[in-house]
C-alpha cells in the first residue's frame, strides 16, 4: 500500500483529499500545524503528525520515518487581499515552507509531488475561459507565491527526477455530501463561508466588493468547484504521475457565477435575504475568472460530479446550519 503524506491535511480541502485517499486504499499521514486546520478534520484511518513547515527538522523527521511514495502539499496562507498587505508573511509561509518540504521530500526519496496551486497564478485574464497556456502574471502576492513554487517544482523535476503536478484550483467550495467532514473554516475570506456566517448571525452583513465590474450584474464572476471533486482529482493526479513527469492542470467547473447569483442561491437555500452592502473593489481582484478544465478531463479522466450551484450551496448550508 503506497504511503502518502498530506501536508495541510487538517484543513478544508486537505481533509477532503485525505478522505478520497483513504477510500482509494492509500496509507495516509497528515502533517499540519493546525493554524487554520482542525482536529475535527482528522479522519479515522489516517495518522497525524503535528508540525510546521517552517521548522525544517520537523518535516524531515516525518519524511525519514515513513519514506513516502507521494506528497500532496496543501499548506499555505490563501487570502489574496491579505497577501497584498503582508507580503513578508506570505513569502515565508508559502514559499519558504514549500522549499523546506521539497528539500525533505527529495532527501527521503519521494517520487511524486502534487501541489495545490491556484487560478491566481494567471492574473487578469486576456481571454476566457482560461486554459493552462494562458500567460501567468499574478495581480496579487498570493498568486505570485503559488507561481514561484510551481517554478521551483519544475527545477526539482529536472534536477531531482521528481514527478510533479501543479493543480490550479479555481474557487473551492462545498462540503462532503456524506456529511463526514464538518470542520468550519477559521476566519474565512471566501464568499460562500462568509455568506454562511452572515446567515448564522455570526457576522452582521455581507460586503460585496464592487458592483461596477464589467459583468452583467456588476459583481465579479468566479468558477466554483466542489471540494469532493477536487479531492478526486488529487487521487487521479497521484496515479497519473506514475507515467507522467510533469502536469499542470486547471481544476474548475467551467461555469461562472456572479457574486450576486451565489448570494441569491444562498438566500433560496436559507429562505430569507442576507443583510448585505456594496463596498469598494478589493485590490488584486479580476472581473471574471472561469476555467477551461479540458486538459484535466482528458489527462485525469476527471469530471466534476458535485459542482452544481445547488449542491455546492446545500452541502455547505447543511454543515453551517447544524454547527454549534
Ligand atoms: N480554498 C480555495 O478556494 C483555494 C483555491 C485555490 C488554491 N487553494 C490552495 O489550496 C490549499 C488548501 O486550502 P484550504 O482552503 O484547504 O485552506 P486551509 O487553510 O483550510 O488549509 C491549509 C492547511 O495547511 C495548514 N498549514 C498552514 N501552514 C502550515 C505550515 N507552515 N506547516 C504545516 N501546516 C500548515 C493549516 O493548518 C491548514 O490545515 C492552499 O494551498 C490554498 O492556497 C485554495
- The predicted-structure confidence for 83-120, as pLDDT tens digits, reads as follows 999 999 999 999 999 999 999 999 999 999 999 999 99
Q: Are residues 199 and 51 in the same domain?
A: no
The residue whose grid cell reads 520537523 is 58
- Report how far residue 177's alpha carbon sits from residue 145's, in angstroms, rounded to the nearest whole number: 32
Active-site option among 142, 175, 257, 320: 142
Q: Is residue 78 part of a domain?
A: yes
75 Cβ closer than 6 Å to some ligand 1 atom: yes
123 Cβ closer than 6 Å to some ligand 1 atom: no
DSSP 92: I
Count of C-beta atoms within a 10 Å radius of residue 97: 26
Question: Per-residue pLDDT tens for 32-71?
Answer: 999 999 999 999 999 999 999 999 999 999 999 999 999 9
171 Cβ closer than 6 Å to some ligand 1 atom: yes
Is pLDDT at 283 greater than 80 in this prediction? no
- Report how far residue 312's alpha carbon sits from residue 225's, in angstroms, rounded to the nearest whole number: 8
Question: Per-residue pLDDT tens for 186-208?
Answer: 888 899 999 999 999 999 999 99
Q: Are residues 211 and 127 in the same domain?
A: no
Q: Are residues 244 and 299 in the same domain?
A: no
Do 228 and 177 meet the contact criterion of CB atoms below 8 Å apart?
yes
Given the CA of residue 9, which atom of ligand 1 is nearest to it?
39
Q: Is residue 186 part of a domain?
A: no
On average, the pLDDT of the chain sits at 96
Q: Are residues 24 and 159 in the same domain?
A: yes
Asked about 122 being catalytic, the answer comes back as: no
Range of the domain at 113: 3-172+225-251
State the sign of the Cα–Cα–Cα–Cα dihedral 249, 315, 190, 124.
positive
Distance of alpha carbon 284 from its chain centroid, rounded? Answer: 18
Q: Are residues 196 and 126 in the same domain?
A: no
* Residue 138 pLDDT class (50, 70, 90 cuts): very high
* pLDDT: which is higher, 81 or 262: 262
* CATH number of the domain encompassing residue 276: 3.90.25.10
Ligand 1 center to 137 CA (angstroms): 22
Q: Is residue 123 part of a domain?
A: yes
User: Strand runs (DSSP E) across the chain, as ranges?
Assistant: 3-7, 27-32, 47-50, 70-73, 112-118, 163-169, 171-173, 206-209, 221-226, 246-251, 256-258, 276-279, 288-289
Ligand 1 center to 119 CA (angstroms): 15
Q: Are residues 238 and 315 in the same domain?
A: no
Q: Is residue 296 part of a domain?
A: yes
Q: What is the model's pTM?
A: 0.97
Is pLDDT at 179 greater than 80 in this prediction? yes
Is pLDDT at 284 greater than 80 in this prediction? no
Q: Give the model's pLDDT for residue 1.
A: 67
Give the SS3 label for residue 72: strand
Domains in the chain: how many in total? 2
Ligand 1 center to 195 CA (angstroms): 20
Q: Give the model's pLDDT for residue 187.
A: 85
Amino acid at each position: 500500500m503506497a504511503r502518502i503524506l498530506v501536508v495541510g491535511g487538517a484543513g478544508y480541502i486537505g481533509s477532503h483529499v485525505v478522505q478520497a485517499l483513504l477510500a482509494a486504499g492509500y496509507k495516509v499521514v497528515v502533517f499540519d500545524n493546525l493554524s487554520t486546520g482542525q482536529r475535527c478534520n482528522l479522519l479515522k484511518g489516517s495518522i497525524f503528525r503535528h508540525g510546521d513547515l517552517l521548522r525544517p527538522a520537523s518535516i524531515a523527521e516525518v519524511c525519514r520515518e515513513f519514506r513516502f511514495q507521494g506528497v500532496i502539499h496543501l499548506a499555505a496562507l490563501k487570502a489574496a487581499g491579505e497577501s497584498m498587505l503582508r507580503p513578508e508573511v506570505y513569502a515565508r509561509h508559502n514559499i519558504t515552507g514549500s522549499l523546506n518540504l521539497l528539500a525533505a521530500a527529495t532527501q527521503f526519496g519521494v517520487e511524486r509531488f502534487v501541489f495545490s496551486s491556484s487560478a491566481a497564478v494567471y492574473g487578469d485574464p486576456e481571454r476566457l475561459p482560461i486554459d493552462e497556456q494562458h500567460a501567468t502574471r499574478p495581480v496579487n502576492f498570493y498568486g505570485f507565491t503559488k507561481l514561484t513554487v510551481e517554478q521551483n517544482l519544475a527545477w526539482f523535476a529536472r534536477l531531482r527526477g521528481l514527478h510533479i503536478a501543479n493543480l490550479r484550483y479555481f474557487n473551492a467550495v462545498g462540503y462532503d455530501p456524506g456529511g463526514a467532514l464538518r470542520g468550519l473554516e477559521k476566519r474565512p475570506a471566501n464568499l460562500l463561508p462568509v455568506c454562511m456566517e452572515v446567515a448564522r448571525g455570526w457576522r452582521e452583513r455581507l460586503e460585496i466588493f464592487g458592483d461596477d465590474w464589467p459583468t452583467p450584474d456588476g459583481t465579479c464572476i468566479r468558477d466554483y468547484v466542489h471540494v469532493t471533486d477536487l479531492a478526486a482529482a488529487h487521487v487521479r493526479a497521484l496515479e497519473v504521475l506514475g507515467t507522467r513527469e510533469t502536469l499542470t492542470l486547471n481544476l474548475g467547473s467551467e461555469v461562472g457565477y456572479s457574486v450576486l447569483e451565489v448570494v441569491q442561491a444562498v438566500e433560496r437555500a436559507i429562505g430569507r435575504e442576507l443583510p448585505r452592502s456594496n463596498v469598494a473593489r478589493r485590490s488584486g481582484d479580476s472581473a471574471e475568472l472561469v476555467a477551461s478544465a479540458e486538459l484535466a478531463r482528458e489527462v485525469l479522466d476527471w469530471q466534476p460530479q458535485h459542482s452544481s450551484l445547488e449542491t455546492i450551496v446545500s452541502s455547505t448550508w447543511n454543515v453551517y446550519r447544524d454547527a454549534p
